[in-house]
């Protein structure tokens, strides 16, 4: 599996430190509140699991599913939100938790959808950002790391459903996905 990797971008230690700092920041910003962490499946599952443990607040954890990539490495721009919502965002402090901001289409669509339910507040926390790829203007309120325009895997991120279990964040060799 590791033969498919080009390089390790962020190690387990770097991720742990950054996620801890994000958790502290969110804990301070939401003091006295009970934010609802909404993980975007499936890529955010590992980040959310660690971030939730770094947040010292009484928070609610929810998931929704959105997909754009399927089995290709090219974003279709066609965002699918699976199975609707099984929670009520109205009058809640929502933090959308996403693995990576790429073109920005997924989070723009999800933000619009959730905003329609009238939450008290709505922020975005993304583990990674590939700013050079942005097609629609959107930024994370809380961000782990900026990363280069390469195909990224590990720590929840997949290529064709593989590599999600790598404990670090790495780039994939182009001959694997091109
Ligand atoms: P966007 O709508 O183009 O911003 O796409 C965001 C989604 O595409 C993310 O939630 C990921 O699931 C997926 N994605 C974008 N870039 C990568 C990558 O480098 N590796 C794995 N998945 C990616
Ligand atoms: Mg995703």
Confidence check: pLDDT of 76 > 50:
no
Contact 111, 138 (CB under 8 A): yes
Secondary structure letter of residue 144 according to DSSP: E
Which burial class, exposed, middle or buried, applies to 172 when counting CB atoms under 10 A from its CB (0-12, 13-18, 19+)?
Answer: buried
Residue nearest atom 12 in ligand 1 by C-alpha distance? 43
CATH code (residue 46): 3.40.50.2020
pLDDT in tens, 13-44: 999 999 999 999 999 999 999 999 999 999 99
Rounded Cα–Cα distance for residues 48 and 61 (Å):
9
**Backbone phi and psi for residue 138, each to the nearest 5 degrees, phi listed first:** -155, 140
Compute the distance from residue 115 Cα to the ligand 2 centre, in Å: 19
Q: Mean pLDDT throughout 86-103?
A: 96
Q: How far, in Å, is the centroid of ligand 1 from the Cα of 101?
A: 6
Asked whether residue 78 is domain-assigned, the answer is: no
Q: How many domains does the chain have?
A: 1
pLDDT at 31: 98
d(CA 56, CA 176): 40
Q: Which ligand is nearest to the CA of 45?
A: 2
Give the structural domain span for 161.
2-69+83-177
- Is 86 an active-site residue? no
């Amino acid at each position: 599996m590791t033969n498919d990797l080009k390089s390790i971008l962020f190690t387990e230690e770097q991720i742990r430190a950054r996620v801890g700092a994000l958790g502290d920041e969110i804990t301070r910003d939401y003091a006295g509140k009970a934010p609802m962490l909404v993980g975007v499946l499936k890529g955010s599952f590992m980040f959310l699991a660690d971030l939730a443990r770094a947040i010292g607040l009484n928070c609610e954890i929810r998931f929704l599913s959105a997909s754009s990539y399927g089995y290709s490495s090219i974003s279709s721009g066609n965002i699918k939100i699976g199975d609707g919502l099984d929670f009520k965002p109205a009058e809640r402090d929502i933090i959308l938790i996403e693995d990576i901001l790429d073109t920005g289409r997924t989070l723009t669509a999800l933000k619009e959808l959730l905003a329609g339910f009238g939450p008290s507040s709505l922020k975005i926390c993304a583990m990674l950002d590939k700013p050079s790829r942005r097609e629609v203007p959107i930024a994370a309120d809380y961000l782990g790391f900026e990363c280069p325009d390469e195909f990224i895997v590990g720590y929840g991120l997949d290529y064709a459903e593989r590599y999600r279990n790598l404990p670090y964040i790495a780039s994939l060799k182009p001959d694997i996905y091109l």
